[in-house]
Amino acid sequence: MAAGDVVDFEIPEAYVVEAGAEQIPLDVIYEDEDLAVINKPAGMVVHPAPGHYTGTLVHALLGRGGDWSAIGGVSRPGVVHRLDKGTSGLIVVARNDVSHRSLSAQLKDRSLSRTYLAIVRGRVKADSGELEGPIGRHPQERKRMAVVASGRFARTRYAVVERRRTHTLLRCDLDTGRTHQIRVHLAALGHPVAGDSEYGGREEGLDRPMLHAWRLRLRHPRTAAEMSFEVGPPEDFGAYWSSVE
């Protein structure tokens, strides 16, 4: 800190964490004594938060039994990274603190890679590109993020998978992991994610952003073996892409 610095902070709403075990079915892609890879459905919140006290991924993990890492605190056992409520697809969780630290370090040095599929509005002209722009809280709407000068460095790489007249299917790779990063960067490009009402992608008949965490690559925390997982998008994603012109 130095004289003249401006500190921007928010005081979160106080709430009681309800992180008890619940018997919620999960699509487990892989699991061992150190980690688990889950195919999270759209609509499931990752951890308890105001307005979401039950039915989260954390409640489902506790319902599976066994140990989970405690580094994230009592409300986030096992949680190494997050997916937005409306985003479907792959998420890795840690069974112990050693695995959590390893996976967090891989996120930081980008050896843990995440690739998404996104249906965006409009025809993206370039076949591929990099989107850079610091991301922080929107200056007026504090629940949203935005590209702002005071934000944290963020970079998203994208490539066109297929074009339609009104929409484009993209593959997006994260070089950083800021909140709402892909959604914010694509909106700034002028091609918001279809169904993303927060960032200009509102579409009739869609109740969530068409964003899917398709591929996850990492090193196993114990063995250092390279691991790669892929899972196709859910039915609503494919059905919507088939319906656009």
**Between these two residues, 142 and 83, which has the higher pLDDT value?**
83
Dihedral of alpha carbons 84, 85, 87, 93, sign: positive
**Between these two residues, 159 and 205, which has the higher pLDDT value?**
159
Checking if the pLDDT of 67 tops 70, the result is: yes
The residues pairing with 152 across neighbouring beta strands, listed in sequence order, are: 135
Euclidean distance between CA atoms 22 and 53, whole angstroms:
12
Helix (H) or strand (E) holding 114, with range, is: strand 113-121
Query: Residue 12 has what pLDDT?
Result: 60
Query: Residue 161 has what pLDDT?
Result: 98
The residues pairing with 118 across neighbouring beta strands, listed in sequence order, are: 170, 211
**Between these two residues, 17 and 201, which has the higher pLDDT value?**
201
Dihedral of alpha carbons 27, 64, 92, 210, sign: positive
Fold match, 13-109 / 113-245: yes
Of the chain, the end-to-end C-alpha distance in Å amounts to: 53
Checking if the pLDDT of 115 tops 80, the result is: yes
Euclidean distance between CA atoms 216 and 115, whole angstroms:
7
pLDDT confidence tier of residue 152, bands split at 50, 70 and 90: very high
Classify 196 as helix, strand or coil: coil
What φ, ψ does residue 207 adopt, rounded to 5°? -115, 15
Give the mean pLDDT of the chain: 93
Residues marked as catalytic: 84
Q: Which amino acid is at 9?
A: F
Q: Could you please state the CATH topology (level 3) that the domain comprising 113-245 is classified under.
A: Pseudouridine synthase (3.30.2350)
The residue with tokens 């140990």 is: 67
Query: Residue 155 has what pLDDT?
Result: 95
Checking if the pLDDT of 83 tops 90, the result is: yes
DSSP string, 112-145: SEEEEEEEEES---SSEEEEE--EEE-SS-TTSE
The CATH code for residues 13-109 is 3.30.2350.10
Please give the average per-residue pLDDT across 226-238, as a whole number.
98
Query: Residue 17 has what pLDDT?
Result: 58
Task: Report pTM.
Answer: 0.89
Task: List Cα–Cα distances, 1 to 107, 134, 148, 153, in angstroms.
Answer: 27, 20, 21, 19
Euclidean distance between CA atoms 170 and 162, whole angstroms:
7
The per-residue pLDDT for range 154-180, each reduced to its tens digit, is 999 999 999 999 999 999 999 998 999
The per-residue pLDDT for range 3-49, each reduced to its tens digit, is 988 888 776 655 555 568 999 999 999 999 999 999 999 999 999 98
The residue with tokens 């390893």 is: 102
Euclidean distance between CA atoms 238 and 235, whole angstroms:
5
The encoded tokens of residue 147 equal: 């590209």
Query: Residue 13 has what pLDDT?
Result: 58
Euclidean distance between CA atoms 48 and 219, whole angstroms:
28
Q: Domain segments of the chain: what residues?
A: 13-109, 113-245
The residues pairing with 137 across neighbouring beta strands, listed in sequence order, are: 145
